[in-house]
Each structure stands twice: as structure tokens, then as C-alpha cells.
Amino acid sequence: MSDGDGVRPGGKLGLDPVLVRRARELARRAGEPVVELARRHTTVSVERAVLRLAGVSGADPDGIPWVNRLVDAVAADVGLAYGVALPVFDAVVREFGPAAGRSGDLGAAVTLLAQKAAAGSVRFEVPSGRAARSARAAARRAVGAGLRRIDRRRAERERMVRRYGDPPRRPWIYLIVATGDIYEDIPQAQTAARAGADVIAVIRSTGQSLLDYVPEGATREGFAGTYATQENFRLMRAALDESSRELGRYVRLTNYASGLCMPEMAVLAGLERLDMMLNDSMYGILFRDINPIRTFVDQRFSRQVHARAGIIINTGEDNYLTTADAVADAHTVTVSQLLNEYFAHEAGLADWQLGLGHAFEIDPDLPESFRLELAHALLARELFPNAPLKWMPPTRHMTGDVFRGNLLDGFFNLAGTLTGQGILLVGMMTEAVMTPWLSDRDIALQNVRYVLGAAGGLHEDFVPAPGGFIQRRAHTVLAEAVTLLERIVDEGLLTAIGAGTFGITRRPADRGRGLEGVVARADGYYNPATELLEAGSRTGGDAS
């Protein structure tokens, strides 16, 4: 366990606990205005996520989900400043009678309402007085039922882990599957689990993060990935449950809660018992040009859902090093990790759910490159001693030379076991050249198994020389991170993002995709999901 400074007593790097406390305090001060901004706004995706929790499902003949149709209809009639819950459940009571608001299957009633709204036969209003109280009670009842379903899926996971067990060692081996066809993904995922993978990540189809709706049903036509849908989640979860029973260890499933539908993806992941979700506070801003305010509002809600569902988040700091220099800008990774930690804790996530990201991306031709990688990886490990951490393989400097690539991946695996990483993404020697073949994955898994097996508990023996190269480098990166955080506090995080502080990409707060879906909350705004999630976080139990 760590002490109150967030550093293990007698850590291997000899980090200054005063400086570590200073870094966390600055991250809090930088993040608090953004949290307050998120509290004052909602988005179309947050409101759609509320309706998904309430049980709305399905899509129209054109494939547009009923939640989109319903939110659009409410926005057209009364706007979204008061949220969708009050207008929608007021309409349920008006259209179907008071008994509908007390029904045990409110989701069916709201889905029918969405269909009527799409046909133009329903008009919405913001209720007041007794009508508002009835709508509020019905909304809370429907959303509470959705959260209880998520609670049951979390309890189901915990039972399976107790029955089948976790992998016998760390790091967990994390492998990507992505054919575009869910029915092709499934046998590949099960084969990967038999070959030693502990976590299966199904990569999303290219461009899905920019869709402002979640596709429906099982899909077979993704490009460079498979569409993330509730049915695809269900199919893959069921397949990996079969593998868990076969192998006698629980196999985890990962997908993405990012992009324009981040809150909805989080809800669907909770309902279908996914175990990890990629969920970074700034990735969508920097690499998908999604509006910063939209992203921060959506990520706060999505992380509240993840906290309730017991899902581990994976953050995306590794992506910065694909555009920025991995040595000169190493401190920006540390700053982002500290900000991600603050935003995660504020939303209710525990340390064991923080798969903070970092990567093995230093130019291998740079002298002392491996020592530098060890310093950066060990700094992350020591700053976040109770977090699993997600360690990402080399991609930027892969050249197509598969022999060199396999060697680099071996060094990456060695750095991971030397520094005690928690989640190790399997590197491929064909990375950045082509979509890996099954044989490539098999060779990559052999590399991982050899290094982790041969190294064993080498992490226990690896202690950098006091005052030596690795310690000095780690202290330098931490000091640079503190200096940058001081500047961010002075100018504001949104300004810093707009200036290209992270990943050298400039993203102003008044631009970007999805800005039109951000709405300032009115004084009477009501969101039963946020109310119940925050109540559950305060009490540590099911407040629904």
C-alpha cells in the first residue's frame, strides 16, 4: 500500500513526497474548473444515456436508434436545458395514463413514446407542480431499474472471478482482435485466450468515434475494426464466458467508451458486463477533434457509470508519444496521468480501476533508450502504486523489419516485467505495417510468455542505483511535470489544450465536432441517473 503522498514508502526512485503531493494538488486545481464546467452542462449523448438506462432500445427502419429520435424530438419542442427525463416521463404519463408511470416495464413505454414522437404524434413540455413530481418519480424508477441491472452484472462478474479465478500473475496479457466481423472476431478471441491472453480488446471500426449514434445489432462490415454495438458486446461476452469456463480463469473483455457517444457506450458496457473500457479525458479532443467541453461533460458521466459497473478504464497517454517526442515531452504524459487520476477519483473510480496509459516509444537508436524507458515506466509505477497501469508497445519506430520489431517487443515486455506494469498490451512485429495475421499474434504471444516466464519476479530484484541515471531521469520528468502543471493552473486547462500542450495538437474550446450537442443546464435541470450515481458514490451502495 502507499502512504498519504501516493508513493510507496522507500520506493525505488526515491521520489520526493512533498513534490508528489504538490503535483497532485496542482492536478486537482487544474481539474476543478473543468469539473464545475461539466456540472453546468449536459450533452445529447448524456441525455441519450439516461434513456438507455431507462430501458429504451432498438432503432427505426433507417437504423437510427430510438434514443436519438426521442432526444431530437424533445430538443425540437423544449430544448435540452432541463434534461430529457422530465419532458419524456411527463409525456409517458400523459400518453399512457398514470399507471404507465408506475409500471414495472417503463422502458417499453418510453420506446413506444419514441416511435410516436418520430411520427410527429407527440409534443413535449417541461412539466411543473404535481405533473413534475409524477414525471420525476417515474424517471427515477425507470433509471434506477437500469442501474440495478448494471449492479447485477457487476455481481455476476465478481462471482465468476471467485469461481474461475484471475490470471495467476501480473501483468495481464492484453490482446487486440479486430476483423470487422463479430462472427470472425469470436473464434479469434477464443483462440487468443487459449494461447494465453487475459484481456481481449475488440477494436472499433474506423470512424465510429465520430458517429453521433450507436449502431444496432450484430455487425459484419467494419473497417479495420468491428462496430461497437450492444449486441456485439453481448455476443463476445458470452463467448469469453465459455472460454473462462474452459480455461479455468476469467477472461476479460475491453471496448471503447470514447468519441461522441462516450456516455452511451459506458451504459451499454455496464449492461453487458464488459470489464475494461478505453476512456481518456482528452484523447477525443486531441486525436478526434471532438469539442473539449463536449468531451469533459461526457467523460465525467461515463466514468460515473464505470465506477458503478466496476469497470477498469484505460487512458490514452501513449497516443501523445505518436506525435510528440517521447523524451522531450515525457512530462506531458505524467501530467495527463495525474489529471486523469483526479477526474477519475472525482467521478467515483477507485485506484484499482485506473489503467493509466504510458508507452515504449523512445527512438531505439537514441543512446540509453532502454534506460530512459525504464525510468519513465518506473516513474508511472511509483506515482500510482495501487493502479494497474496499461503499458503500450512500440509503434512509432516500427519499420517493417519484423525481426527488429520482434526484438523491440521483447525489450518492451522486459521493461514491463522489470517495472511491475499491470496490463501489458501485446506488441506485434508487423505493427504499423499491416493488420496482423493470426500467426503474427502467435509469435507475439510466444515472445510475451518467454520474457514473463524467464524474468519471473525480477521486478523484486530490480532497484536502480541511488542517484544513478534512472533515478535522475525520473526526478527530472516529475519536476518538469510540476512546472507544467503550475502553468496549466495559471492559464486554465482548456487554454492549455488549445495551445497544443498535449500531443502538440491545438484544440480550442470553442471548436470541434459535437459542440452543437452541448447545452447549458437550466436551474430546473433534472437527471435521475446523475442523482442516483452520485448518491451511490456517497453511500458506497445501491442508492436506486
Q: Does domain 256-475 have CATH number 3.20.20.440?
A: yes
Task: Give the alpha-carbon dihedral of 174, 178, 181, 185, to 10 degrees.
Answer: -30
pLDDT band at residue 104, thresholds of 50, 70 and 90? low
H or E element: which one contains 484?
Answer: helix 469-491
Whether the bond into 65 is cis, omega within 30 of 0: no
pLDDT band at residue 167, thresholds of 50, 70 and 90? confident
CA atoms within 13 A on the CB side of 246: 13
pTM over the 0.85 mark: yes
What residues form DSSP beta bridges with 250? none
Range of lowest pLDDT (67-76, 392-401, 489-498, 513-522)? 392-401
For the stretch 429-440, pLDDT in tens is 887 666 677 788
CA distance 332 to 357: 12
Active site annotation includes 390:
yes
For residue 101, pLDDT over 90 is answered with no
- Centre a 10 Å sphere on the Cβ of residue 525 and count the other Cβ atoms it contains: 18
Active site annotation includes 318:
yes
Domain coordinates in residue numbering, the chain: 41-146, 256-475
Q: What pLDDT is attached to residue 505?
A: 82
Strands annotated E in 115-229: 172-177, 199-202
Q: What pLDDT is attached to residue 502?
A: 85
For cell 458503478, what's the residue? 308
For residue 178, pLDDT over 90 is answered with no
pLDDT band at residue 354, thresholds of 50, 70 and 90? very high
For the stretch 445-454, pLDDT in tens is 999 999 999 9
The DSSP call for residue 513 is: B
The DSSP call for residue 80 is: S
Helix axes 17-39, 330-346, angle to 10 degrees: 60
Percent share of the chain, pLDDT over 90: 81
Identified catalytic residue from 174, 250, 283, 320: 283
Q: Choose between 165 and 436: higher pLDDT.
A: 165
Stretch 515-521: mean pLDDT, rounded?
97
- For all residues of the chain together, what is the average pLDDT? 92
Identified catalytic residue from 275, 318, 329, 440: 318
pLDDT band at residue 534, thresholds of 50, 70 and 90? very high
CA distance 276 to 253: 6
Stretch 140-148: mean pLDDT, rounded?
96
For the stretch 26-42, pLDDT in tens is 999 999 999 999 999 99
Q: Choose between 290 and 319: higher pLDDT.
A: 290
Identified catalytic residue from 90, 198, 256, 390: 390
pLDDT band at residue 538, thresholds of 50, 70 and 90? low
